[in-house]
Structures are given as C-alpha cells and as structure tokens.
Amino acid sequence: MGTIQLLRDARSARDWCAETRAAGHSLGLVPTMGALHAGHASLVEAATRENDRVVVSVFVNPLQFDDPSDLEKYPRDFEGDAELLAEAGADMVFTDDLQGFFAEVPGATVDSIPRVDPGPAAAGLEGAHRNGHFEGVATIVARLFELTEPTRAYFGEKDYQQTLVVEHVARGLGFPEIRVVETSREADGLARSSRNTLLDAAGRERAISLSRALFAARELFRSGERHPLNLRAELLRHLEGVEVDYAEVRDPEAWSAERPVHLQGRARALVAARVGAVRLIDNLALDDLGKC
C-alpha cells in the first residue's frame, strides 16, 4: 500500500498542488463525496495511469442537495476513504467545510455562495428532479479545478448528465481535460454507489431492477428498435418494486430536456428511482458508437 497525505483544509491542498505542478508533475484530480467504494477506486486507478500525481477531494457538497434529509444521511467515513485511496495509489486526499472552500465569501452559507452556470446539459432529468443540483455541482467543481489546477480530472459515467455539466465547466475555464470512466458494477449488475449501503436486504434485491431495465433496453435497441417511447416502455416494464422518478432515452450529442422524437445514431438510457427512502440513478449507452 502506498503512502497518502491527508489534508483537512483547502488552502494546504492548494499549496500541495501548486508545489507538485511547480516540480513539473502532471496532476490528476478525482472529486468525490466520500464513502468510497470500488467505483471510486477505478477512477483513481485511471488517474494514476495517466498522471505523475493523483489528488482526491472528499466533500459532501451541500450546494448540490435539495433535500436536507438526503444530505444528513449521506454516508461519511474519511479515515476509511483514506485507506482505500492509499491502496488505489492516490498521493493526497483533502477535505474542508463550505467556509474553507469558499473563503472569499465571509461566513459562506449555501445561500450566499454565487453559483456557476452548469450549461445546457443541466436541463431535464436530474436537473428537473433535483432543484439547483447541477448549479451546485458546477460551482464546487469549478472551485476544485481552481484550487488544484489539475492536468486531467476524472468523473464516473455512472453520473452521466454530470459529466456533460463538468465538460461545460472545463470548457469555460479552458482546463482541465475531462476523462469519463466506465461504470463499475456489482456482479449482478447493480451500479456501485455510496447510497447502496443504505439499502436493506429487500431493497438491495429490488435495486437490481434499475440495471436490469437498462440492459433490457440495450437489447431492444440492438435488435433495431429506435422509437424512444418503445425503449422507454421497455425500461418501465423492468422497473419493478421501485418508485420511478424518470426512465428516459436521450441522444447524448443533442441533449435536451424533452424526449427526442426519434433516435438515429447515439442513444443513452437513464433511470432514477427510489427504493424506499434511497434514491438511485443509473444509465447505459444503448449504441456501440461511443467509448463510454
């Protein structure tokens, strides 16, 4: 296991990154909310393959939660996270509180921090179901980029709409390169998520229906089906025992809040559903044209 530096304030993290860059090292950044699992480790491993040094941020960002109880019960385990990150090859992990990340806003609160524009991909689906979510994501991601000035930053395909938002933020700043890492899944297909630890045994069983629905829609797409409504019906047919927030298909290259009338080349199915009190999301490329 490698050694990892633990920093508990944003200012020290900024200095560490500045020194690393000044020494001529390329720097990979992996932003996370902690409660880390093998999915996060796969991002860190991808980052270690492409960069001299890898830094991970852990911050349960209150700006991106529209539901206070969801924020409250989000799992937290900084020491455990550091162990997993050392194992995966990260060089430094840092955290801070809202005031530490936004030190230029005196007594910063969720309401007083100016938001960064998340761009057109924030429209619809997660953006429609979680008020202000992507503004909160864009704001913290821009701040993490400014603090660490990474060469590359790594995000999971699991949060597909988020990757489009993050690409918009990076285009605006002119850096870093954004890398999207394939979704890591349990053996039965369930996408790994920090929230899975909140599921009881019955909920864990029901949660499988999300990935099952996505893989069924991909089969249908591969058999030639291109009508979004028929693909959506296939998703819904498999989403059993969960409360569906949305089950939709989008063209990732022509993102819109509305369902496309027809699909030609690229297609991605995206689902969000509540299993009891736990909200889960997942998505899958239906076409074989993209990398992720």
Residues tagged active-site: 40
Residue 159 interacting with ligand AMP (CB under 6 A): yes
Closest of 1, 56, 6 to residue 27, by C-alpha = 56
Stretch that binds ligand AMP, among 112-120, 122-130, 154-162, 240-248 (CB under 6 A): 154-162
Complex with ligand AMP: residue 191 or 207, whichever CB lies closer: 191
Residue 27 interacting with ligand AMP (CB under 6 A): no
Vertex 41, ends 37 and 43: CA angle to 5°? Answer: 125
Cα separation of 271 and 235, whole Å?
Answer: 8
Residue 155 interacting with ligand AMP (CB under 6 A): yes
Could you tell me which residues come within 8 angstroms of residue 11 by beta carbon, excluding any fewer than 6 positions away? 100, 103
Q: Which amino acid is at 197?
A: T
Stretch that binds ligand AMP, among 48-56, 152-160, 217-225, 260-268 (CB under 6 A): 152-160
Tokens read off for 11: 């200012």
Complex with ligand AMP: residue 65 or 232, whichever CB lies closer: 65
Question: Taking CB under 6 A as the criterion, which residues in 192-231 touch ligand AMP?
Answer: 192-194
**Run of H or E residues at 177:** strand 177-181
Cα separation of 54 and 161, whole Å?
Answer: 24
A 10 A CB-CB count for 127 gives 20
- Residue position matching structure tokens 């030609």: 264
DSSP letter, residue 273: E
Complex with ligand AMP: residue 191 or 239, whichever CB lies closer: 191
Residue 268 interacting with ligand AMP (CB under 6 A): no
> How do strand 92-94 and strand 278-285 relate by DSSP bridges?
unpaired
Closest CB to ligand AMP: residue number = 156
**Site track 32-51 with ligand AMP (rule: CB under 6 A), x = hit:** xx-----xx-xx--------
Residue 150 interacting with ligand AMP (CB under 6 A): no
CB of 262 to ligand AMP, least distance (A): 29
List contacts with ligand AMP (CB under 6 A).
32-33, 39-40, 42-43, 155-156, 158-159, 181, 183-184, 191-194
